[in-house]
Structure 1
Amino acid sequence: MSPDPALSWSAPMSPGGVPGAGRPIVSFGRPEGYDERVRPRPLGMWIRPRVAAAAACVVLGLGLIGGAVTGSWLVGEPGEAGTGDTFAAAGGLWHSVPVDQLFPPTVAGKGAGPGGADRTWTRIAVAPDRGCADAFDPLLRKALAPVGCQRLLRATYTDATQSYVTTVGLLFTKADAAAMTALGKRFTDEGLDRRTDLMPRPYAAKNTVAAGFGTAQRASWTVSVLTDAPVVVYAVSGWADGRTVDEPQPAEEAMQSGATTAPAQAGLGNEAQGLADRVERGLRKTVSSPTEKPS
């Protein structure tokens, strides 16, 4: 049966609606656990206590391993590699989960600001579904080419004072786990996530405080290649007044103690990293428990 076009990100919106509203939510079954009193059953003879204890340890060990894999998604921390079912489920979220769940209207960032200050971000625009063609600078597009582009979802947020603007993106790739692992290793080994010629582009929405948020206004950014999901998470931040930035700085460096650059002093590294982290956590929580909306 063909998918309902009304549930697509590119489907027309009703007046006052939001993109993707009303789409069904994917539900994944919870893994079955083991009884806390694991005891082997006698099979025509009594099993020696040591054998029984060994069997119990094996069963409990398997349960702990399974719990660790699931737990890495529940708490929002990446594992070394996702299971096939989890990896595939994450790759399909772009067409099965409402936009408000992937990019909540309001995102709370407790302790996300400089010095552990709290942050609150408000979504001001969601980019239309136009693929990846114009979303990245040429060199970044080339670096991401090995994993392909299935869909790119973007939203722009502002802080509580409307002093800063940040675009966060979820690039859903066409890659398998091996390809994502290879790309993640390359980004780490070659420092691609810290090169100023590989910054993501912002989404400047008209008639918002981000209207002047162009490529020259990029101040800080982060790019995270997930290895347990076919997704690249990124964010790029800048000032809401449209000022140009001569020396943008990657979020990791801008957040370091003693950093004196303008993006660091303004906390724009925290804006990019904090929002990207929370959108990534929401993505993971949606895979594990899609009926619960991420905070």
Structure 2
Amino acid sequence: MTFARPETYHPETHDGTRSRPSRPRRLTAATCVVLGLGLIGGAVTGSWLTGDADADGDRGNFAAAEQLWHSVPVDQLFPRTLDGEGAGPGGADRTWTRIAVAPDTGCEDAFDPLLRKALAPVGCLRLLRATYTDATRSHVTTVGLLFTTGDFAAMASLKSRFEREGLDRRTDLMPLPYAAQGTLADRFGAGQRASWTLSVLTDAPVVVYAVSGFTDGRTITEPEPAEEAMKSGATTAPAQSGLGHEAQGLADRVERGFRKTVASAVDKAS
């Protein structure tokens, strides 16, 4: 590999001294510096929005995220409608409509005892939940944001344990739905859970989950985690009905929206 001579070097006029960059070149260099800084800042924000930020970026956003449960409007955390482009089986589009928002609560009666025990190491500050239905009004899905009292290390440890032991795939650790009376979800109880997903974040003190079922109140004898129900060729009832896609699609979009909210809060603070 060879490098050309610097632009400031002109053989025909060289007198042993370094010529001074012209004003246009100085302006170009300054512009490149500004653009470079902007790209670096954008990359940091963008990587956090997709869950790929480094440890320092994670810790900076962590502090901002833990304060948001009481200051962000519910329509921002759980929009009235959510579009899921390509989120359905075979890449079909989905649209979900919010039909109920639960009052923010603690976690005492919000989870089955075993899941509550598994989440205990990070504590429970507040639980926010909303239930959605699909465009056909045949499916219902509850999405939850559990704000914990755990610090950065505690969240990382819990995430590692869930992944290592497969706790997010155990049917005895499914989240409970929010069955709002007088809505399409009023028969959406523990026995109606068909598919679910649960994600422990490490860049925020938050656990994101979603659990889906049918609006007709049918009992599900073999619920299946969304990851399995979304696999090509799966033949279980949750897979054939697309309920794995419902749970995963809604959880992903609520989590994405939450990350954008945190990024915006960090930008305003800085």
Q: TM-score, normalised by structure 2?
A: 0.82
**2:259 matched to 1:289?**
no
Does residue 88 of structure 2 align to residue 113 of structure 1?
A: yes
Question: How much has 1:69 moved relative to structure 2?
Answer: 2.7
Deviation at 1:73, TM superposition (A): 3.0
Q: Which residue of 1 aligns with 2:53?
A: 79
Instruction: State whether residues 78 and 228 of structure 1, in contact with CA within 8 Å, keep that contact through their aligned partners in structure 2.
Output: no
State the 1:71 CA deviation. Answer: 1.5
> How far 1:64 sits from its partner (Å)?
6.3
Maintained 8 Å contact 1:180/1:226: yes
Residue of structure 2 aligned with 1:208, choices 183, 189, 196: 183
Name 1:217's counterpart in structure 2: 192
RMSD, matched Cα: 2.3
Q: CA deviation at 1:90?
A: 0.9
Give yes or no for contact 2:58–2:204 (8 Å, CA) kept in 1.
no
Higher relative contact order structure (alpha carbons within 8 Å, sequence separation ≥ 6)? 1
Distance change (3 Å), C-alpha of 1:66 and 1:178: farther
Decide which of 171, 178, 181 is 2:156's aligned counterpart.
181
Aligned amino acid, residue 116 of structure 1: G
Separation in 2 of the partners of 1:112 and 1:135? 27
Separation in 1, partners of 2:123, 2:37: 35
The offset of 1:168, in angstroms, is 0.2
Alignment of 1:224-263 (within 5 A): 224-263=199-238
Q: How many residues align?
A: 236
Q: Distance in 1 between matches of 2:246 and 2:105?
A: 25
Shift of 1:63: 7.3
The CA deviation at 1:92 is 1.1
**By percentage of residues, which structure has more helix?**
2
1:1-295 mapped onto 2 (5 Å cutoff): 66-74=41-49, 76-81=50-55, 82-289=57-264
CA contact (8 A) 1:80 1:228 kept: no
Contact 2:107–2:126 at 8 Å: present in 1 too? yes
Q: What is the SS of the residue equivalent to 1:227?
A: coil
Task: Compute the displacement of 1:62 (Å).
Answer: 8.2
**AA at the equivalent of 1:265:** Q
Contact preservation (8 Å) 1:80, 1:227: no
Q: Contact conserved, 2:64 with 2:265, CA < 8 A, in 1?
A: no
- What amino acid is the match of 1:141? R
Task: Specify the code of the residue in structure 2 equivalent to 1:279.
Answer: V
Return the letter of the residue paired with 2:243.
L
Distance 1:78 1:237 in 2: 27
Task: Give distance in 2, aligned partners of 1:248 and 1:89.
Answer: 36
Mark the CA change 1:86 to 1:246 in structure 2 (over 3 Å): closer, same or farther: same
Q: 1:273 to 1:78 in 2, by over 3 A?
A: farther
- 1:233, 1:276 within 8 Å by CA — same for their partners in 2? yes
The alignment-based identity, stated in percent, is 78
- Aligned equivalents of 1:113, 1:201: Cα separation in 2: 23
Q: In the aligned structure 1, how far is the partner of 2:111 from the partner of 2:204? A: 21
2:129 is paired with a residue of what secondary structure?
strand
Amino acid at match of 1:79: A
Q: TM-score, normalised by structure 1?
A: 0.75
Query: Looking at CA atoms only, which structure, 1 or 2, has the larger radius of gyration?
Result: 2
Q: 1:246 to 1:77 in 2, by over 3 A?
A: same
